[in-house]
Amino acid sequence: MLLPHALERPLSLPAWLLPFFGLVLLLGLGAFPIYIVDEARNAQAAWEMYREGSWIVPTFNGGVRTDKPPLHYYAMILAYQALGKTALAARLGSALCGFLTAFTLYYFTQKTYGKTSATLTVLVYLLGFYVPLQFHLATPDAYLAAFFTLGMLALHQGFQDRDRSYLYLGYVALGVATLTKGPVALVLAALGWGIYCLADWQHFLRNVLRLRPLEGLVIVSLVALPWFMAVHFATDGLFTEGFFLEHNLARFSHTKEGHGGSPLLIPAFVLLALLPFGFWLPRGLWALRERDKGLAWLAGATAIGVALFFAMSKTKLPSYPFPALGFAAIVIATWLRRFWQGRGARRSDHWAFALAVLVLASVPVAAYLGLRQDRVLRALTPLWWQFTLVLPFALYAIWQWSRRRFTRGLAGLALGFYALQIFLFASFLPRFNAFNQVAAATPLLASAPDFCAFGRFAPAYVFAFDGPIVRYEDAAELAEWLATAPDGALVLTAERYLPSLPSDLDLREVFRQKDLFEYPTTVIYRYYAHE
């Protein structure tokens, strides 16, 4: 039987935890439209698959999309069937992955360390802004985190209990994780388990064989390989070449799209992503040397393995270490539970608390400076004072910590970041809609007799117009199209392409706006034909 018997018993959750999950993961899910680049490409690719009735070949703007495997597309297709082509439908699968990840962390941590550690783990994981944000986006990162976390923790349970059903569940989950972002899921799993087994190097081979890796390879292959083979033959190898060579090997070995930087960026991303409790991660990892080789050890090994892998990658993005965060949360929680056992704070705890409360108290200043310096969102600068809502929580946390009421001090930090999270998703982020260049330009484009694009443009336009947008890279091709275009036709382009526009045609600028969260500035020209 594949499903472990333990999973058939009801999960023991505190009564408030499920509403907490719901508020964190569902609040504001459809409050802002699809306009971030990766969201738009993923959401539109899923829509084109749904529209064409294709479950094999992902496309974007009519061309094969080789960026990612299909799992998130499948989830979006099912949501589109129920909810139509909406931002909520595109993001719903990501939110459900958040529920799965949280329940997975709670279930396996509770089995090993009890309810206190399990509750602390999910609070550490979900109380910051970054993790819920990832589960609010129509990207495959949420799906990878969910199934990678399930796979690794189920494997550990099977390893500890010598239970094949947990092992098989873990390998099925890793097979599904491979359908989110490719074989990187298997590489990360191998790194995590490799570090874990090396900690007991005298029994390394025995521990590896205890995982039944050959059976696991068969299970993973049965889950993931059929689709990869199907898309390979359906695209005459185009997807295989583009995905494995360009979007995997090339991204690892070369800096892509300017997303490079120091290897230290990845550990920094991990610490900041788990605010306010991320500052306790170094102390939690150091404390593992005093623990037996249990769940916390695997969590630490996995967090380190994921961070090391992406630190070595030439391309670095804040979303890359996302699969490590659940495991880092376990490490942090196993250290923080000391306070609930009546133990005192050490010097490292005081430093971590000081940094965390400093970050919380600095939120209003950071909001003011960030909004003031952003060309698009500068108009929102007068609203910076709304972020002062976190200050009472910071003061409460300081007061309680100074009185050696450490659990209450941590609760103050947690409530401050939770209040900030609710404010952002329910009130502040939806205000960005007024500065969305796609929403501003769509009525103009929709009213034109015809339009095309010149050079690269925001993919959200394809999502908004639900159809292929003709795009030209060469000025001569654009001139040829304009020669037959009706009077008043529009050309959608970006500021960097303006020197390449045909100079002998009557093109007049009618729209210009900096893209939200991106470097380009969108420009639209109207064409006036002369008889």
- pLDDT tens digit sequence for 371-389: 999 888 999 999 999 999 9
pLDDT of residue 199: 86
* Adjacent-strand bridge partners of 514: 521
State both tokens at 68: 């990612």
Please name the amino acid found at residue 336. L
State both tokens at 372: 């003031």
The residue whose two tokens read 């991320």 is 278
For the chain, how long is the longest CA-to-CA vector? Answer: 86
* Adjacent-strand bridge partners of 524: 492, 511
| Domain spans of the chain, in order of start | 5-337, 347-432, 436-527
> How far, in Å, CA of 49 to CA of 491, rounded?
27
Stretch (H or E) spanning 37? helix 37-52
**Cα 303 from chain centroid?**
16
pLDDT of residue 388: 96
Distances (CA, A) of 128 to 147, 177, 272: 21, 24, 9
pLDDT of residue 11: 54
Per-residue pLDDT of the chain (531 residues), as tens digits, is 444 544 444 456 677 888 888 889 999 999 889 989 999 999 999 999 999 999 999 999 999 999 999 999 999 999 999 999 999 999 999 999 999 999 999 999 999 999 999 999 999 999 988 999 999 999 999 999 999 999 999 999 999 999 999 999 999 999 999 999 999 999 999 999 999 999 888 888 999 999 999 999 999 999 999 999 999 999 999 999 999 988 888 888 777 766 777 889 999 999 999 999 999 999 999 999 877 778 999 999 999 999 999 999 988 888 999 999 999 999 999 999 999 988 888 999 999 999 999 999 999 999 999 999 988 899 999 999 999 999 999 999 999 999 999 999 999 999 999 999 999 999 999 998 888 899 999 999 999 999 999 999 999 999 999 879 999 999 999 999 999 999 999 999 999 999 999 888 889 999 999 988 888 899 999 999 765
- Write the burial class of residue 328 (CB in 10 Å: 0-12 exposed, 13-18 middle, 19+ buried): buried
Helix, strand, coil percentages for the chain (3-state, nearest 5): 70, 5, 25
Query: CB of 530 within 8 A of CB of 487?
Result: no
In this prediction the pTM is 0.94
Query: CB of 528 within 8 A of CB of 487?
Result: yes
Q: What percent of the chain has pLDDT over 90?
A: 79
DSSP annotation of 138 reads S
pLDDT of residue 88: 97
Q: At what angle do helices 325-340 and 141-161 cross, to 10 degrees?
A: 60
pLDDT of residue 8: 44
Query: CB of 462 within 8 A of CB of 469?
Result: yes
Alpha helices in 295-436 (DSSP H): 295-312, 325-340, 347-361, 363-373, 391-402, 406-423
User: Among residues 241, 226, 249, which one has the least CA distance to residue 66?
Assistant: 241
> How far, in Å, CA of 488 to CA of 481, rounded?
13
pLDDT of residue 381: 94
> How far, in Å, CA of 216 to CA of 32, rounded?
41
pLDDT of residue 21: 86
pLDDT of residue 530: 64
CA atoms within 13 A on the CB side of 367: 22
**Cα 501 from chain centroid?**
37
Please tell me whether the peptide bond between 276 and the residue prior to it is cis, using omega within 30 degrees of 0.
yes
pLDDT tens, 448-474?
999 999 999 999 999 999 879 999 999
Q: Helix (H, G, I), strand (E, B), or coil: what is residue 264?
A: coil
**Residues 6+ away with beta carbon under 8 Å from 362:** none
**Residues 6+ away with beta carbon under 8 Å from 530:** 506
pLDDT of residue 9: 47
